Amino acid sequence: MKGKLSLYCKVLNVSRQAFYKYLERKDLPWKYDYIVNSMYEILNEDQYNDTYGRYRMFAALKLKHQDDPDFHIPGERTIYRIMEAVGLIHRPRRNPKGITKADRNARKSDDKLKRNFRADKPLTKCVTDITEIKGSDDKLYVSAIFDCFDVTVLGLAMDTNMKAPLCVTTLENAYTTHPSMKGCICHSDRGTQYTSQLYRDKINELGIIQSMNSDGGRCHDNARCESMWARLKDELFYSRNLKSTDFTVAQLKTIIWRYFMSYWNNRRICSSNDGLPPKVKRDRYYAALPIAA
């Protein structure tokens, strides 16, 4: 297009100086290309990292380049704008629904957490719950115990029913791996599994202190577990436009075990850990003990 430059600048409401600066910069690489390249490296490190929102991506960048003082990481808001520009924005799509059935006549335990899900050291407070996931051939019930210190999955069990033995197996699996759980508070809702004599006998045998939602409690009394189930379902299915019914129960067991015991415990960035994976936070805690002593 030919014509007077002054006319075009007037129509576009830009100065002649700004136009020439644009010509100087237009073939230069974007100043945040190095950030985008690092983001894609993070996404390619694990199949579940594509669910990272701006906070977890910001935390992942800091963790990845913590030993590189020359790698400049802009603020979280700028990270969001960069992700938006390259189409990496993730938005959760669904909310979990509870399946708890309380036995109002069963003997209850006191609420020892009172919605305080923070712990100063590992294996002092933990929370447990069950969620239902529908497979193509049956329903799968997932029972887990999470450490309040760093949201590590201490124990995991799965079955096609949600009876008390499922929760007992979860306790046994957690205690086998973490015998220091003795004396730990284990909080649950008031479902029939947790008020059963079978579960009470096992938790007493292992020396674990039982805690339950307050009388007439709401889902917020065990909000930490509800949050875990929401992350699980969103990152495995909803955000990928998948349905759990696309998989058999046997396939779901494998997928969920790998997600929690391999990915979640070792590599997933968790906002409740100040942007650290559970293993990193736990390792740092134990590494600092001799220094504190």
Q: How confident is the model at residue 140 (pLDDT cuts 50, 70, 90)?
A: very high
Query: H/E/C letters for each residue in the chain?
Result: CCCCHHHHHHHHCCCHHHHHHHHHHCCCCCCCHHHHHHHHHHHHHCCCHHHCCHHHHHHHHHHHCCCCCCCCCCCHHHHHHHHHHCCCCCCCCCCCCCCCCECCCCCCCCCCCCCCCCCCCCCCEEEEEEEEEECCCCEEEEEEEEECCCCCEEEEEEECCCCHHHHHHHHHHHHHHCHHHCCCEEEECCEHHHHCHHHHHHHHHCCCEEEECCCCCCHHHHHHHHHHHHHHHHHHCHHHCCCHHHCCHHHHHHHHHHHHHHHHHHCCCEHHHCCECHHHHHHHHHHHHHHHC
Averaged over 146-152, what is the pLDDT?
95
Ranges in the chain annotated CATH 3.30.420.10? 125-292
Of the listed ranges 85-99, 149-163, 202-216, 223-237, the least confidently predicted one is 85-99
Mean pLDDT of 157-184: 95
Spatial separation of the C-alpha atoms in residues 158 and 248, rounded to whole Å: 13
pTM score of the predicted model? 0.77
Is residue 103 scored above 80 in pLDDT?
no
Stretch among 15-29, 151-165, 260-274 having the lowest mean pLDDT:
15-29
pLDDT at 191 (0 to 100): 87
Q: Minimum mean pLDDT among 21-25, 155-159, 214-218, 287-291: which range?
A: 214-218
Residue 290 has a pLDDT of 79
Query: Phi/psi at 213 (nearest 5 deg)?
Result: -50, 150
pLDDT at 50 over 80: yes
Averaged pLDDT score across all residues of the chain = 86
The CA distance from 211 to 222, in Å, is 11
- Per-residue pLDDT, averaged over 49-77, amounts to 89
Q: What is the Cα–Cα distance from 219 to 12, expressed in whole angstroms?
A: 56
Q: What is the mean pLDDT of residues 103-115?
A: 70
Q: What pLDDT score was predicted for residue 255?
A: 96
| pLDDT over 70 percentage in the chain | 87
pLDDT band at 175 (very low <50, low <70, confident <90, very high): very high
pLDDT of residue 215: 62
Over 60: is that where the pLDDT of 53 sits? yes
CA distances from 269 to 82, 209, 272 (A): 19, 29, 9
Domain 125-292 superfamily per CATH: Ribonuclease H-like superfamily/Ribonuclease H (3.30.420.10)
- Which segment of 146-155, 161-170, 196-205, 209-218 scores lowest on mean pLDDT? 209-218
Please compute the mean of the pLDDT values over residues 133-139 and round it to a whole number: 95
Where residue 90 falls among pLDDT bands split at 50, 70, 90?
A: low
C-alpha 50/C-alpha 90 separation (Å) is 8
95 vs 219: CA distance, rounded Å: 13
Strand 209-212: give its sheet, edge to edge.
153-159, 139-147, 125-134, 185-188, 209-212
C-alpha–C-alpha distance, residues 188 and 110, integer Å = 11
